[in-house]
Amino acid sequence: MNSAILITYDQEDAINEAKGLCDAAGYEVVHIITQNFLQKPKYGISGGVLEQLEEIADKLRPNVIIYDEILKPSQNYNLATVLHREVLDREALILEIFESRASSAESKLQVKLAQLRYEMARAKEKVRLANLGEQPGFMGIGKFEVDVYYNDIKHRMQTIRSKLEKAGKQRELHRQGRKRMGFKTISLAGYTSAGKTTLFNKTTGETRTQSKELFTTLTTTTRRLMIDQEPFLIADTVGFISKLPAYMIDAFKSTLEELIHTDVIVLVIDINDSIAELKKKFSSCMRTLSELGVEQDKVVYALNKSDLLKNEEIQRKVEFLNLSENKKLVSVSAKTGKNITELKGLIKEIIESQSFHKPKTNAWEGVEKTFGN
Ligand SMILES: Nc1nc2c(ncn2[C@@H]2O[C@H](COP(=O)(O)OP(=O)(O)OP(=O)(O)O)[C@@H](O)[C@H]2O)c(=O)[nH]1
Ligand SMILES: [Mg+2]
């Protein structure tokens, strides 16, 4: 296993999530440095902290330095130069995880596109610096080579986009096919590691990989689910994460787009998370769903892992999330099977109500206002 020194925020949930990401990418964290602020101009961290880091890195000799923020290319370059080591920022780390997880042709293309977008942003910065004449030969590349490199990335992105478009059309055909056959569809959505795949397996009798590592699932799988002897289709999806840059959501759009066309969305929430984590993850899920244009009428909230908590504790968290008035809420356990029948009942209610009246476009503003960014 490769080793890493992790630099992250001085908050427990940030530390845990960053450690989870390192773990998922296959890095053993040998030392953690926490800071309140990680966006200083030159190195992200201050000169003093950098000196400390240099000393520790010389002693522990990690394979990489992981920086749990988004670094500008120049900051990355400055850090790597002082530390004589590869520096991975949060985006690069998430991309590594996605790359190792992508198994279907489509998800491989999506990851490739996201990687090129990442490189593109860096190439742009290189061009800018080269033009300013500030750093000629920045990162060992001259201005001319940068232009060639930049155009090459653009070209490769176009090729991948058109392949993804084709895959998207294929998806659309499948969707229409399912619709013609009269199948109603259900999608599981939620923050990474909330328990979507465990719930999927429990309800369908499947054996897809579930694990405590982040981003276990990158490819959407659809299976049949029976509710009162009636067949439905249920899909497991890629998990959300906060601070996922827009271009990554963009790259995974065709997968996430399933969520717009689905009849019911089960938003899986890990109710065992701390209040701070719950807040962050819930608002990130809500924002993603709202950005995708999902109608709120279609959403059922499944408070998962309720086997780990007392009822009063669950109630307290429900109130905190402002969901106590919500009738489409059920605490479940994908592990023990608790309230799975109730969850299926709620799903069926939504589908039945949809055949009477068209779903309203419901405002997400209330939720957004409560949770902001
Ligand atoms: N105690 C308990 N653990 C659960 C429950 N549901 C899931 N887990 C655990 O939570 C972890 C994550 O579960 P997954 O089903 O892989 O989560 P996911 O949402 O599919 O995650 P990604 O695919 O990574 O986005 C696993 O270790 C599961 O065993 C539950 O109801 N109770
Ligand atoms: Mg999963």
- Here the ipTM equals 0.98
Closest CA to 41 of 7, 74, 80: 74
3 state SS of 302: strand
Same domain, residue pair 19 and 113: no
Find out whether the beta carbon of 62 lies less than 6 Å from any atom of ligand 1: no
Rounded to the nearest 10°, the torsion over CA 186, 221, 216, 110 is: -110
Find out whether the beta carbon of 339 lies less than 6 Å from any atom of ligand 1: no
Same domain, residue pair 155 and 227: no
- Domain holding 135, by residue range, is 103-159
Same domain, residue pair 249 and 365: yes
CATH of the domain at 266: 3.40.50.300
174 within domain boundaries: no
Q: Is 215 annotated as a binding residue?
A: yes
Which residue has its alpha carbon closest to ligand 1 atom 14? 195
Same domain, residue pair 54 and 123: no
- State both tokens at 343: 């969850």
Number of independent structural domains in the chain: 3
Same domain, residue pair 208 and 340: yes
Which residue has its alpha carbon closest to ligand 1 atom 32? 305
Which ligand has the shortest distance to the CA of 304? 1
Of the chain, the end-to-end C-alpha distance in Å amounts to 35
Q: What is the pLDDT of residue 367?
A: 47
Same domain, residue pair 338 and 207: yes
Same domain, residue pair 90 and 203: no
CA of 235 to the centre of ligand 2 (A): 11
Find out whether the beta carbon of 281 lies less than 6 Å from any atom of ligand 1: no
Q: Is 95 annotated as a binding residue?
A: no
Which residue has its alpha carbon closest to ligand 1 atom 6? 195
3 state SS of 25: coil
Q: Is 307 annotated as a binding residue?
A: yes
171 within domain boundaries: no
Which residue has its alpha carbon closest to ligand 1 atom 27? 212
Which ligand has the shortest distance to the CA of 268? 1
Per-residue pLDDT of the chain (373 residues; tens, 9 = 90+): 899 999 999 998 889 889 988 988 899 999 999 999 999 999 999 999 999 999 999 999 999 999 999 998 889 989 999 999 999 999 899 889 888 877 778 888 988 998 998 888 887 777 776 666 655 444 555 667 777 888 899 999 999 999 999 988 888 888 888 888 888 999 999 888 899 999 999 998 877 778 777 766 666 778 888 888 888 988 887 777 766 666 676 667 666 777 888 999 999 999 999 998 899 889 988 988 888 889 999 999 999 999 999 999 999 999 999 998 998 999 999 999 999 999 999 999 999 998 765 544 444 554 444 443 3
Ligand 1 mutation target, pool 17, 188, 198, most atoms within 8 A of CB: 198
Q: What is the largest CA-CA distance in the chain?
A: 70
172 within domain boundaries: no
Same domain, residue pair 212 and 65: no
Which residue has its alpha carbon closest to ligand 1 atom 10? 195
Last residue of a domain, one of 51, 70, 98: 98
